[in-house]
Structure 1
Amino acid sequence: MDITKAALAALNTAFNTAFNTRLTGTETTYGRVAMTVPSTTRHQAYPKLGEIGPMREWIGERFIERLEKDGFVITNRKFEKTIAVSVDDISDDQIGLFTPIVNDMGQVAAELPDDLVWEQLEKGFTTEHYDGQMFFDTDHPVVGADGSEASVSNFQGGAGAAWYLVDDTRSIKPMIFQDREKPKITPKTNLNDDNVFFQDEFVWGAKRRCAAGFGAWQLIYASRQPLTAQNYAAARAAMTTMHGHRGRKLNLKPKLLIVPGTLEEAGLELLNAERNAAGATNVWKGTATLHVENRLTLI
């Protein structure tokens, strides 16, 4: 291949196509628990999600609920992936060896939200949210119907592999994926570029700016107890009876069960089997959709 401007332009187009094809075609899982929020600044401020009370009978003046935009802040992070290819390899028509690598760059860029969201989810046991409690906690403070403070739990306790019940029927989600700058690949293939002159190599670099954070803790219930019918039933009961701000009955619908790979068999038996271990009808069959997430910690 003759190293001409036209040839390099065609090469960049081919690599860009390979990158974007995999970027848009890669299956991701973060959307099961996270809502995507476009970001226009380095630091994005959010109101205290989930603290909206019920509708009230309109008697007299309106009661205005002001959303304080200082509930919590998520700061965007910057990510990159860069590869270099020898000028000689391009000259010797070795493009076919590197196109799959560029294709894979698109995949890892697409999967970055998965990596960030599921990693952040597991930090919920040790990281505070806007109410001063851990995201998964037994003592989230809410304002009761009479104005006094009450405690609400979204954590069953335990010390084993974590599993999660999620209400995935709402626009608001338990997690947030904050998207500041979508992935793109940039070439440094100008024959006058320093990397060409000094290292005799062409460079392609991908960049993405984004972050993951916690959303509405009310919509997810975590457990480190064994995944048994008894513990599953208790987790469902805790969610379906949960009260929110000013005594509002949240009417949660725990329709998604998320487990790591080590709990896949237990999850399948719990949600798919016709009968339980004792031979009785499995009353929990079909009560939730099972999602096995391989990025979750196994123990």
Structure 2
Amino acid sequence: MLITQAQATAAYTGLRALFNEGFMATASGVEDQWKDIALLINSETSDEEYGWMKNLSSIREWLGDRQVQNLSEASFKISNKHFEGTIGVPVDKIADRKLGGYSIAAQQLGQNARVFPNRLVFKLLQEGFAATGPDGQYFFDTDHPVQTKEGVVSVSNTGGGSGAAWYLLDTSKVVKPIIFQQRTPFKPQELTSGDSDHVFKRNELLFGVDGRCNVGYGLWQTAYASKQTLDKTALWAARANMMGFKGDNGEPLGITPNLLLVPPSLEEAARTALEAVIISNTSNVMKGLMKVEVCPWLA
């Protein structure tokens, strides 16, 4: 059967309200966890260039002419992708005003849209052992090239190992470990009107959400990953490694890790290392040194 445009509009209005309700829900507390490790970039075109990250300028004493760092814009690009989610609502359900489970589906669709950036951001972080970053190396690698007065040296931001991965991060910098690039935010869409060809052929009204975005790697110096056993010894080594990072000018970058990010399987080890007061009858000097964050998206 066909429905009037007024009925279709009323159904869409109700589903949109439920979508927004699901989108705004914050029951789990991890809906926006991606914001802890990613820099949000509002994109204005189909893709954005990030070559400038290879040449972030430092401040020096002004002696003679300025030393200009030419920012290469063509070496690293993030292209936006289009993502969508759609549900079909039978026309009979709309006509009979019995949306029932479809109302729940719309609410769940809203929640899915809210947490979607987490899926992209943390998946990319996990892939960092075999995916290329702005410097042409794997994001987590043993031989990032760094220019010194003596020549190019290789610098590592990974601890090796074969267990579950954990991540030590400095999230205090402007440029963070991951970039979340957003072209258009996710928003609900009514995809068919009451008298459309789709309604006539399929006897259903389409309701969905779409948005354009993508992710890419930020500064490798702000992140360290390891698959070694997570304990105080490994954490001290990782922390010292990161705090020793220097820029191409040979000066310390001031990296200070403030976040230990772990999958659920490593929560106990992480909290023991950084939150326990006493470990093996000895005061835990690492207590409170860094924040522990358990990420379900890394499971």
Normalised TM-score (structure 1): 0.93
In structure 2, what is the equivalent of residue 262 of structure 1? 265
Are 1:52 and 2:48 matched, yes or no?
no
- Does 2:155 match 1:152? yes
User: Hey, which bits of structure 1, 4+ residues long, moved more than 3 A?
Assistant: none
On the 8 A contact 2:134/2:218 being kept in 1, the answer is: no
Cα distance, 1:95 vs structure 2: 2.3
Residues in 2 aligned to 1:71 and 1:48: alpha-carbon distance in whole angstroms = 9
Count of equivalent residues: 294
Q: Which residue of 1 aligns with 2:114?
A: 110
**Equivalent residue, structure 2, for 1:203:** 206
Q: Which shifted more, 178-187 or 227-236?
A: 178-187
Match of 1:251 in 2: 254
Question: Which residue of 1 is the match for residue 67 of structure 2?
Answer: 63
Deviations 1:237-266 (A, max 9, x none): 101121122112011111100000110000
Structure 2 counterpart of 1:282, from 284, 287, 299? 284
Q: Distance in 2 between matches of 1:48 and 1:12?
A: 44
**1:10-49 mapped onto 2 (5 Å cutoff):** 10-26=10-26, 27-49=31-53
Aligned amino acid, residue 179 of structure 2: I
- 2:92 is the alignment partner of 1:78: no
Aligned residue type for 2:20: N
The whole-number CA distance in structure 1 between the counterparts of 2:20 and 2:41 is: 21
1:139 aligns with 2:150: no
Stretches of structure 2 that go unaligned for 5 or more consecutive residues are none
1:295 partner amino acid: W
Pairing partner for 2:293 from 263, 282, 291:
291
Give the TM-score normalised by the residue count of structure 2.
0.93
Q: How does 1:112-191 map to 2 (within 5 A)?
A: 112-144=116-148, 146=149, 148-191=151-194
Structure 1: distance between partners of 2:56 and 2:101 = 55
**2: CA distance, partners of 1:36 / 1:164:** 20
Shift of 1:6: 2.7
Paired with 1:136 and 1:186, the residues of 2 have a C-alpha distance of 39
RMSD value, Cα: 1.6
In the TM superposition, what is the alpha-carbon distance from 1:52 to its structure 2 partner?
Answer: 2.6
Kindly indicate whether the alpha-carbon contact (under 8 Å) linking 1:77 and 1:211 is maintained by their aligned counterparts in 2.
yes
Letter in 1 for 2:151: S
Q: Displacement, 1:147?
A: 6.1
Deviation for aligned residue 1:24? 3.6
1:48 to partner: Cα distance: 4.1
- Partner secondary structure for residue 229 of structure 2: coil
2:297 alignment partner, SS class: coil
Alignment of 1:189-228 (within 5 A): 189-228=192-231
* Unaligned residue ranges in structure 1 (runs of 5+): none
CA contact (8 A) 1:50 1:244 kept: no
Q: Is the 8 A contact 1:109 1:208 kept in 2?
A: no
CA distance in 2, matches of 1:143, 1:229: 31
Q: Which residue of 2 aligns with 1:234?
A: 237
